[in-house]
A = this chain, B = another copy of it.
Amino acid sequence: MGIHKFFTSLNDLERINRAPGRFKFEEHNVAAHSWKVSQYAMFFATLEEMKGARIDWKILYEKTINHDYGEIFIGDIKTPVKHASPELKSMIATVEEKMVENFIDMEIPEEFKAVFKNRMKEGKDSTIEGRLLELSDKLDQFYESFAELKRGNTDFEFVNMYQIALKKILEIPLPTSVDYFKNTMLRDVMNENTTIDLTELTKEVIKDA
Contacts and interface: CB of A to CB of B under 8 A. Distances in A.
A131 interface: no
A112 B46 contact: yes
| Secondary structure call for the A interface | helix
15 contacts: A2-B188, A14-B26, A16-B21, A17-B20, A23-B25, A29-B32, A38-B61, A42-B61, A57-B61, A74-B78, A75-B77, A77-B77, A151-B152, A151-B153, A151-B154
A180 to B, nearest CB: 8
Copy count, this protein chain: 6
Contacts of A61: 38, 42, 57-58, 60-61
B16 A12 contact: no
A8 B143 contact: yes
A71 B35 CA distance: 15
Interface residues of A, number: 84
Interface in A4-33: 4-8, 10-17, 20-23, 25-26, 28-29, 31-32
A202 B57 CA distance: 37
Contacts of A85: 95, 98
A141 interface: no
Interface in A158-182: 180
Contacts of A124: none
B35 A38 contact: yes
A8 B146 CA distance: 10
A126 interface: no
A65 interface: yes
A200 interface: no
A91 interface: yes
A88 interface: yes
A5 B46 contact: no
A50 B15 contact: no
A34 interface: yes
